[in-house]
Structure 1
Amino acid sequence: MANRVQAKAQEIAREDYDKAKAVLSASVKSGSYLYPFRGILYFFTHKALWRPFLSRLLPTIGLAVGVTTTMFFFTYLPQLGILVFVDGPLAVLTTVLLVLNESSTIVNILARNYLLEDAILDTFDGTLVARNATGVVSEGRQLQSGSDPIARLGKILKNPFSKFTPKALIRYVMYLPLNFIPVVGTIIFITLQGRTRGKSVHGRYFQLKNWSSSQQRDWLQQHNGPYTTFGTVATLLEMIPLISTFFVFTNTIGAALWAADIEQKNTDMAVGTAPNLREAAKKAE
């Protein structure tokens, strides 16, 4: 009996290892982890994309400073008092990471829904226009003539990114206890946040492509590793105090660059059957 249980446990462990290995391999092959950094470089080399960022800079910095300061003042010591029992001396660091993550989550919820929505939309669409993906952008908004990618953006024909849902907040709170596991728990927590973040980075792209919910779900499941990797890197960058808003915009640019490469078939993720073709094949069966 004990041997059978041990053999089954080893079989499950091998399956999980193979799955993790496949996900990691797909992530590395896709290069998705590089796009947040490519977004930073692209931002600095394309001044036209600065305008949406600069237009929201001061109010968002004020929000970030206020939220982060308040969170450290009221929650750092209580959470440190709990984590010190499981993390020991490392609790000083893990608590900082936890509070930063909590602060960035609050700032992102408030900023994305009340301060940055239009600016982020313009940044994403403008980056696609800068990369000559005007065909897909024209599905969601009118485009003017000219060479300035932001100035070319006209009337929005489709509603922008979906609003924050209570489900995301509930999931965030559910995962918070993972931080009580020394070091590894914090890493898992950030990775899970990255997975959630990754699922939303191409919301606008999917909308422009007119993909149904099932098509989006199919695509995200097929490329879970790359999107989780992008989301994790983006989450870590947006946890940096005071300049998190800057990374919100550069991550948006990175996501748009990634979408442009998928659209132009310059990424390994574009290899294979597209969601709409798979759906058509299913209907034909």
Structure 2
Amino acid sequence: MSSGFVESAGSKAQEVAKEDFDRAKVLINDAAKSQSYLYPIKGIVYFLTHRSLWKPLASKLAPTLALSAGVVASMFAFTYLPQLAILVFVNGPLAVFTTVLLVLNESSVIISVISKNFLLQDALLDTFDGTLVSKNATGILSEGRQLKAGGDPIQRLGKIIKSPFSRFSPKALVRYVMYLPLNFIPVVGTVAFILIQGRSRGSSVHDRYFQLKKWSASKRSNWLSEHTGPYTAFGTIATVLELVPIASILFSFTNTVGAALWAADIEAKESEMAQGTAPGLRDAAKRAE
């Protein structure tokens, strides 16, 4: 009986492992096809080559850099050695590096919570909206913002009709703390932790786009479920970029640009599909007559 139980448990474990592997393969294939992982990089290039998009960052640069430097320095001064003492037992010599990643991740979360709630909310919104204007996606943007005539994309931004960027969710903090022990697993655990954070990060990058589309909560949830792979890929790359000390502030803006570029491309594809479908519907209506 004991032997049968062990065999049954082993068989079930193999079945679950195969299901997880197949699901992961599907997610990776979806991410590869969408090329969503490229948008954070595209965001960097687009931001650097469009000076008008620098204005929101420039207005917040000094206080945010001071915040970033202070948080990173304090975290390394007070938390690096205690966490290294713990991780060295499970990671061995690699603990020197995995602890650095852990402290940077923790610093990134603290900086993100403080800056996005108290310093950068309006600036990131202007960056997202300004990128949509730059990509001529003004039709959808008019649902959430008044637009002025003339000037560069940032100068054209008028009064905000709807402000979508929600403040830091307590759930996100709970999820972060809950999965923090993964870092005790050498290398694989740290990678898994970043992927989990990436999935959470990815699920929020299009909050503004969804609001402009006037999507309900259920429709947003369904869309994110259907595109888990692409959003996780984007979120993971964005998370890794924002782990870079001090430069994380810059990458917060370039990631926002990348998210807006992705939204503009989605909108353009939907428009092309609608234009391609409309003639077909008209022909069908004529044939029915």
Q: State TM-score, norm by structure 2.
A: 0.90
**More moved, 186-195 vs 157-166:** 157-166
Q: Which runs of 5+ in 2 are unaligned?
A: 275-289
Q: How high is the sequence identity, in percent, across the aligned residues?
A: 65
1:231 aligns with 2:238: no
Equivalents in 1 of 2:8, 2:104: separation in Å?
A: 45
Q: For residue 166 of structure 1, what is the aligned residue in structure 2? A: 170
Kindly report which structure 2 residues correspond to 1:76-155, keeping only aligned pairs within 5 A, or say none. 76-155=80-159
Equivalents in 2 of 1:191, 1:72: separation in Å?
A: 23
Q: For residue 216 of structure 1, what is the aligned residue in structure 2? A: 220
Q: For residue 187 of structure 2, what is the aligned residue in structure 1? A: 183
1:262 aligns with 2:256: no
Local SS of the residue matching 2:186: coil
Local SS of the residue matching 1:264: helix
- State the shift of 1:146 in Å: 1.2
Q: CA deviation digits over 1:158-184, x for unaligned, max 9? A: 123111121111111111111111111
Q: For residue 199 of structure 2, what is the aligned residue in structure 1? A: 195
Local SS of the residue matching 1:148: coil
Q: CA deviation digits over 1:143-164, x for unaligned, max 9? A: 0111411001000001231111
Local SS of the residue matching 1:227: helix
Local SS of the residue matching 1:146: coil
Local SS of the residue matching 2:269: coil
Kindly report which structure 2 residues correspond to 1:4-83, keeping only aligned pairs within 5 A, or say none. 4-83=8-87
Q: CA deviation digits over 1:24-79, x for unaligned, max 9? A: 00001100100000000001111110100111111000000000000000000000
Local SS of the residue matching 1:163: coil
Local SS of the residue matching 1:154: strand
The root-mean-square deviation of aligned C-alpha atoms, in Å, is 1.4
- State the shift of 1:16 in Å: 1.4
- 1:42 maps to a residue whose letter is Y
Equivalents in 2 of 1:6, 1:82: separation in Å?
A: 33
Local SS of the residue matching 1:159: coil
Equivalents in 1 of 2:81, 2:10: separation in Å?
A: 43
Kindly report which structure 2 residues correspond to 1:266-285, keeping only aligned pairs within 5 A, or say none. none
1:207 aligns with 2:218: no
Aligned length in residues = 268
Local SS of the residue matching 2:221: helix
- State the shift of 1:13 in Å: 1.9
Q: Which runs of 5+ in 1 are unaligned?
A: 271-285
- 1:63 maps to a residue whose letter is L
